[in-house]
A and B are shown apart, each in its own frame.
Chain A
Amino acid sequence: MGSPGAPEFRSAQPHVTREGDSVTSSNDRPNATPTAGPGITKTPTGIKGFDELTGGGLPQGRPTLVTGGAGSGKTLFGLEFLVRGAQDFDEPGVLLSFEESGPDLADNAASLGFDLPALETEGRLVVDAMQIDPSEIINTGDFDLDGLFIRLAAAVQQVGAKRVVLDTIEVLFAALDNDAIVRAELTRLLRWLKSQGLTTVITGERGREGQLTRFGIEEYVTDCVVVLDHRVRDELATRRLRIMKYRGSSHGTNEYPFLIRDRGLMVWPLTQVTLTYGASDERVSLGVPRLDEMLGGGVYRGSTVLISGTAGTGKTTLAAQAVEAACARGEKALFVSFEESPAQIMRNMRSVGIDLRRWVDAGLLRLWGERATAFGLEAHLDGLDQLLEDVEPSVVVLDAIGSLSSIGGSAQVTSMMARELDLLKSRGITAVLTSLIHEGEPESSSAAVSSLIDTWVLLRNTESDGERNRLLFVIKSRGTAHSNQVREFRMSDGGIKLLDVLVGPRGILTGSARARQLAETEAAEAERSAGLEQRQRAYEGHAAVVEAEIALLRERLATQRAELDGLATETLRGDTARIAVSASVASQREPARPPASSGENEQGA
């Protein structure tokens, strides 16, 4: 019935038949969204996490229905969509509000840190709060919504709007008392919004018994439907967001937690941000040289280390040592404790020779203590995100992640841990988590998160001879030829030391058993060395005797030689004399028989 009134309105708006234009023209534009189907261009909402989830935002030039119960955050979603558009994407917007007054909207927006009046003054936003009091309206016959159309068109023209939010248009059904007309006009309105290429968010109140909206307006919005939910489970309120429908685009189908913060909404996608981060080849020290050695030179920068163990095994101390090492390298670190206050951590660590205060004073270390139960899981995540932004650490300690299980079911905690670790990994932060294992529980009780962990160090108490001692194992370390050895783990006032374990006849030996074994070994050694000395002396004695004998024999030999030499000399002299005699005899006979050749020479001379 609204159509008879339409022609005048259309004549005022020259671009009536452009429906679908936005889709075809979108093909010319660079498609920056990896998961978008052909022909779908997306408009970023600027809502943290949402654009990652949808691969770029809302369908450009098309309407999106955002529906949810009272207080689910629909209006804030729309507000942020507009404000981010105006502030960050140079896309002015128009807000038509049917529920709240202008000042109320400005107050709501201010709670997210948005200044609506300023944006209006700058000409980047129009807020038109339509006051409708159903009790004031009397319906006397045929009508249409040209008043609304004209107001919207004027506002769009005023700022050159690209985005429109209608919050909550369903109010019209109740107020105007003629469903047939309102439906027809709604169809006309959506057609007009599309023809103008306006990216629109239409909010709807969730209906009863699974109805998406009270008046079924989801029939008119077929491109994208986002469902918001606010539920209370175990006294903890959590908000969830789900993308029910996104025509022409892939999208996450899960329910994602989201949060209303003092600086906008935030959605936590699990599957979209994972496994895209780079991998560093750089090793960083955990501050215990022998542990680094076991891990092949430390852990990779940006990897995640889990230190698990029963109570009192030194998890926190080992984590603090990693922080100390990072600060000593001049890097920034963040230590989040769910169990102790910063002052308590500093005092306790000082007692084992780790002076954290100097790093706090130097501005390299931030200690942060909060009870895990103080906030819900999402608020906790958001708090961490904020801290990471403020501190920009290279190493983060979370002590102890088990505390978080008190604020949600195990599946929730696990998925939140995954998100938290993604957050850290995407920033290239080396994370050290501690996890308490209860006595008697299997090691695998931390397994819920173990698949997310790159390096897993287990600390264990051994009890023997009336004392407890600590052992350290490296259960896994991705990408590293890590040691399979068990080490004894000792805390002293000079920090942490790792010792090789002794293997005795009854297994590995630690503590006083180690001391005893060491003493025994020493005694045996002493005994052995004493015997050796004796034999040495005996040998030396014998050697001396032998040497003396050798000397004597040598002397004797020398004497014999000397005698022999003397004899030989005398004999030689006798011979020489005899030779001389015979030679003189020969020379006397010489002239009688001269050699044939030289005879002439002698004659010539």
Chain B
Amino acid sequence: MTTDAPATPSPDPDGIHHLRLYVAGQSPKSVRAVENLRRVCEEHLPGRYEIELIDLLENPHLARSDEIIAVPTLIRKLPEPLRRIIGDLSDTEKVLLGLQLTKDRVDP
């Protein structure tokens, strides 16, 4: 939900990352996932990300439309292709791998 103009040469020239995080209520997992996601984004996508947070307990029908089974699930809507990451995002390396923000590209 934060947008910004690119200041430094970006690892991804396409710019903005549109991310959607599905959680179920305020469980510890959900809270952790939100915290972890913000941390990763600030670190690796400063100013180039947009997070949409969806609570399935409030919008159960959205679970079906985005093929959600596990919770939390992070979906990268943009840039294409769509990526799907499950879990509380505590394994940063895997999160970066999933978002195709691997270290060698961020920190050459």
Interface residues of chain A, those whose CB is within 8 Å of chain B, are 4-5, 7-9, 11-12, 128, 130-132, 136-148, 150-151, 153-154, 172, 176
Q: In the complex the two chains form, is B29's CB within 8 Å of A150's CB?
A: no
Are the C-beta atoms of B73 and A141 separated by less than 8 Å?
no
B67-96: CB near A (< 8 Å → 1, else 0) gives 111111110000000111111111100110
**Contact partners of A148 in chain B: CB under 8 A:** 69-70
Of the candidates B29, B56, B85, which one forms a contact with A142 in the assembled complex, judged by CB atoms under 8 Å apart? B29
Q: Are A140 and B86 in contact (CB under 8 A)?
A: yes
The answer on a CB contact under 8 Å between B94 and A138 is yes
C-alpha spacing A522/B86, complex, angstroms:
106
With A141-B87, A147-B22, A154-B60 in contact, is A130–B71 under 8 Å at CB?
no
Contact assessment for A151 and B60 in the assembled complex, using a CB-CB cutoff below 8 Å: yes
Contact B95 A145 (CB under 8 A): no
State the interface size on chain B (CB cutoff 8 A): 39
Q: A130-B69, A150-B56, A151-B64 are in contact. Are A138 and B25 (CB under 8 A)?
A: no
Q: Would B71 and A141 count as touching, CB distance under 8 A?
A: no
**Distance in Å: Cβ of B103 to nearest Cβ of chain A:** 15
A-B contact pairs, 9 of them (CB 8 A): A140-B86, A140-B91, A141-B33, A141-B90, A143-B29, A146-B56, A147-B56, A147-B69, A151-B64
Q: Is the CB of B69 within 8 A of A172?
A: yes
B69-A141 in contact (CB<8A): no
Q: Are A4 and B87 in contact (CB under 8 A)?
A: no
Establish whether residues B88 and A150, one from each chain, have CB atoms under 8 Å apart when the complex forms. Answer: no
**Is residue B26 contacting chain A, with contact meaning CB distance below 8 A?**
yes
Q: B64 — nearest CB in chain A belongs to which residue? A: A151
Contact A5 B63 (CB under 8 A): no
Apart from A4-B28, A154-B63, 19 more pairs, CB < 8 Å: A4-B27, A4-B29, A7-B25, A9-B25, A136-B82, A136-B83, A137-B84, A138-B94, A140-B86, A140-B88, A141-B32, A141-B36, A141-B88, A142-B88, A142-B90, A147-B73, A150-B24, A151-B64, A151-B68
Measured CB to CB, the closest approach of chain B to A13, in angstroms, equals 11
B29 in contact with A144 (CB, 8 Å): yes
Residue in A8, A12, A131, A137 whose CB lies within 8 Å of B86: A137
Instruction: Verify B68–A140 contact, CB threshold 8 A.
Output: no
Closest to B98 in A: A138
Q: Is the CB of A132 within 8 A of B88?
A: no
Residue pair A5, B29 in contact (C-beta under 8 Å)? yes
> Given the interface contacts A8-B26, A132-B69, A176-B70, does A143 sit within 8 Å of B88 by beta carbon?
yes
Q: Given A145-B70, A147-B71, A139–B87 Cβ distance below 8 Å? A: yes
* Least CB distance, A596 to chain B, in whole angstroms: 160
A140 contact from B25, B28, B95, Cβ within 8 A: B95
B44-69 interface bits toward A, Cβ cutoff 8 Å, 1 = contact, 0 = none? 00000000000011001101100111
How many whole Å from A95's CB to the nearest CB in chain B? 13
CB pair A146 B24 closer than 8 Å? yes
In the complex, A144 Cα to B30 Cα: how many Å? 10
Given contacts A130-B67, A147-B22, A154-B60, are A140 and B27 in contact (CB under 8 A)?
Answer: no
Q: Which residues of B contact A142 (CB under 8 A)?
A: 29, 32, 87-88, 90
Instruction: Say if the beta carbon of B97 comes within 8 Å of chain A.
Output: yes
Most buried by A among B24, B33, B94, B95: B24
- Residues of chain B within 8 A (CB-CB) of A150 are 24, 56-57, 60, 63
Nearest A residue to B40, CB-CB:
A140
A147 touches B24 (CB 8 A): yes
Give CA–CA (A151, B69) in the complex, Å.
8
Residues of chain B contacted by A172 (CB below 8 angstroms): 69
Residues of the B chain whose Cβ atoms lie less than 8 Å from the Cβ of A4: 27-29
How far apart are the CA atoms of A139 and B29 in the complex, in Å? 14
Closest A residue to B67 by beta carbon equals A131
The list of the 5 closest CB pairs from A to B, nearest first, reads A8-B25, A141-B87, A147-B68, A141-B90, A138-B98
In whole angstroms, what is the CA distance A180 to B29 when docked? 16
Q: CB-nearest residue of chain B relative to A178?
A: B87
Contact between B24 and A140, CB atoms less than 8 A apart: no
Please tell me which one of the listed residues B26, B63, B71, B97 contacts residue A143 in the complex, with CB atoms under 8 A apart: B71
Q: In the bound complex, how far is the Cα of B26 from the Cα of A452, in angstroms?
A: 69
Whether B98 and A140, one on each chain, are in contact in the complex, defined by CB atoms closer than 8 angstroms, is yes
Bound: A140/B36 CA distance, A: 11
A150 to chain B, nearest CB (A): 5
Q: Which of chain A's residues have a CB closer than 8 A to the CB of B71?
A: 5, 143-147
A8 to B72 Cα, complex, angstroms: 13
B89 near A141 (CB under 8 angstroms)? yes
Residue picked from B63, B68, B72, most chain A C-beta under 10 Å: B63
Complex alpha-carbon distance, A58 and B13, angstroms: 58
Q: Of residues B26, B56, B86, which shows the largest number of chain A Cβ atoms within 10 Å of its Cβ?
A: B86
Instruction: For A176, list chain B residues within 8 Å (CB).
Output: 69-70, 86
In Å, the complex CA distance between A604 and B56 comes to 167
- Rounded to whole angstroms, the CA-CA distance of A130 and B70 in the bound complex is 11
List, in ascending order, chain A residues with CB within 8 A of B56's CB: 146-147, 150
User: For A5, what are the chain B residues with a Cβ–Cβ distance below 8 Å?
Assistant: 24, 27, 29-30, 71
Residues of B within 8 A of A145 (CB): 69-71
Q: With A130-B67, A140-B88, A147-B71 known to touch, is A8 a contact of B57 (CB < 8 Å)?
A: yes
Nearest-CB distance from A570 to chain B (Å)?
A: 152
Closest to B26 in A: A8
Contact in complex: A147, B57 (CB < 8 Å)? no
Expressed in whole angstroms, the Cα–Cα distance for A172 and B73 within the complex equals 15
Asked whether A144 lies within 8 Å of B70 as measured between CB atoms, the reply is: yes
A54, B32: Cα distance in complex, Å: 49
- Give B1-29 as 1s and 0s: 1 = Cβ < 8 Å from A's Cβ atoms: 00000000000000000000010111111
A120 vs chain B, min Cβ distance (A): 13
Contact A136/B29 with A145-B71, A153-B60 known, Cβ cut-off 8 Å? no
Q: Name the distance in Å between A100's Cβ and chain B's nearest Cβ.
A: 14
Q: A133 — nearest CB in chain B belongs to which residue? A: B84
State the CA gap A132–B27 with chains docked (Å): 24
Contacts of A143 in B (CB 8 A): 29, 70-73, 86-88
Residue of B28, B70, B91, B94 most packed against chain A (CB within 10 A): B70
Q: In the complex, are the beta carbons of B67 and A139 less than 8 A apart?
A: no
